[in-house]
Amino acid sequence: MLSEECTPVIDAARPGRIRLGAETFDRLAAGGGDPAVIAELQAGQYSRRMVLLRAFLEAAGPGPAWSALERAERAAPGEVSAILMHPQVGSWLAYTLRRPADAGFGQLHAVAIVASAAAGLPYRAEVPLRDGRVMLPRLGMAMFDGCAPSAVAEIATEDGRIWLRHAGVRIDVPPPGVDGPGWWALRAVTVGDDVRLTVWLDDLDPMRDLADPVPPARLSDPAVARWTGLLAGAWDILVERHRPLAEALAAGVSSLVPLPVGEGWGTRSASSGDAFGAIMCSLPPDPVTLAVSLAHEFMHIKLGGLMHLVVLTEGSGRPGLYAPWRDDPRPAGGLLQGIYAFFGIAAFWRMQRHTADLPGKLADFEYAYARAQTREALGVARRDGGLTEAGRRFTDRLAAEMDTWQADRLDPEAVALAALVADGHRAGWRIRHGHPAAVDVAALAAAWQAGSAEPVAVAPSEVWPDETMRHWSSARLGLARRRLTAPDRYAAVRGESWGSGLSDADLALFAGDPVAARKGFAEQVHDDPASADAWTGLGLAMARAGMPGGAVLLARPEVVAALHAGLGGRPDPAGLAAWTESAIPHQF
């Protein structure tokens, strides 16, 4: 719920529940939030951790670990709070409560040991070993060889020092940041001068990923140096050109998790609502890419914290909504998360385009593209996103902020290519996930065969979730970027792995020759009527050439493709699209 106050307060009607101040809500809804606002979100997160711990206690029952935590909190409340607010502690709590059979309850002893050591209090217990390993939050990982799946280790803290023992092998935990026999330290990286960022470079914690526990992936010293250099460069960009964002990010982000690069991806990044303050990212090619990834994921972190305090969407949670940055249908909450994140990306490029770090037109393209994506998704959310009253207030405030950007002057070619990619993605999503009713397709087929000029009523297509989460849109996006950044190497993209699926028609389309592109895509549809890229490329080319049929192929390509299949694949695809456009006027 919302109050008119500017600081989080306890709701007297529901003790322990935090209400977010209305001014704070509006500042977040406009995309902002200074360190004071981040502190309010952190207060909400601490309250949530306490709720999770309470649920943990009810599930596991009281015990020595719980008593040790209480003693440590009384002796050193600030230190214990920092331990409990460590992002991966949040992930562990949420995961264990969702999967109690996974034996994650024993990790509470590891948390209690770290808290007791920070408070200078003694504690002794046994901790479960996962593949011979146990993670001590904010410290590092102990590793024993040759352990059975159900093995445990004795663990104790004396005078602030921690040791572990298993099968006669003892591991003494060194000072923070120092490796030792059987021990990998969790490393911290600090960058910046007047505005400083300190993060754990977490390559160890089993709960550092989005879902199930993962093994450690220890970075080599050169890899750590590479990450540190990239982070320093990204931080310089953020402090010099996006200072308010940098100040808030420094207050709210405490963990950077290196991710492996997945096949078919560029730089990957992610964050989790359970791990407030943690950003996951694959190794970026340059500081600018890392800077925009940090900006992107920090928006997710802020909105995740807000959504733990305020309900913004309601409904079934079924993934059926169009998100311009995703190749699969999204639920309402996921769509809103993406809107906020891509607002942040657009805001980043809006400022970054005034620098000389990138080829002149590329920053304009990135800004125009992210701005268009966010605008379109706001429309989807307002129409179909199941927004609560607070959700409508949130999206209204975000849209109002974006209204102030509309007069920005951008390179015309960059804007045109951004629109081309956006239109192609929307059409590609519809033809893959939209399923028109069979009765409507049959009615259209009958009208075509009868030569009727009467309008045919066609219902909205049903959207089916995509369990496989296919990725299909990156090639044309990459083609647009290549056109702007290296036109001399434009034709070479088909020889590169990411562009191998592109056709001569694609190259003609993005080079500004829609007539040649239309011919090429029509031939592709004739050869392979099931090709989604051929149909959407045809729609893009026809629309850019001002030909009838282009509009319906972009707005309802699934209808035209289904009709073409229902007619045995015989009609000329461009002619059929033009006829369909006249047969279902005002329905797309």
Whole-angstrom distance, CA of residue 171 vs CA of residue 181: 7
Domain ranges of the chain: 417-583
Higher per-residue pLDDT: 356 or 366: 366
Instruction: Count CB neighbours of 500 within 10 A.
Output: 10
Residue 117's closest CA among 87, 143, 133, 140?
140
**β-pair type (462-463, 434-435):** antiparallel
How would residue 128 be classed by pLDDT, with cut points 50, 70 and 90? very high
Kindly tell me if the per-residue pLDDT of 501 is higher than 50.
Answer: yes
Query: For all residues of the chain together, what is the average pLDDT?
Result: 93
How would residue 273 be classed by pLDDT, with cut points 50, 70 and 90? very high
List, for residues 387-416, the tens digit of each pLDDT value.
999 999 999 999 999 999 999 999 999 999
Percent of the chain with pLDDT over 90: 86
List, for residues 418-462, the tens digit of each pLDDT value.
999 999 999 999 999 999 999 999 999 999 999 998 999 999 999
State the helix-helix crossing angle for 35-60 and 243-252, rounded to 10 degrees: 20
Kindly tell me if the per-residue pLDDT of 82 is higher than 70.
Answer: yes
Whole-angstrom distance, CA of residue 126 vs CA of residue 110: 9
Kindly tell me if the per-residue pLDDT of 231 is higher than 90.
Answer: yes
List, for residues 193-212, the tens digit of each pLDDT value.
999 999 999 999 999 998 88
DSSP 31-93: T---HHHHHHHHHHHHHHHHHHHHHHHHHH---HHHHHHHHHHHH-HHHHHHHHTSHHHHHHH
pLDDT of 262:
62
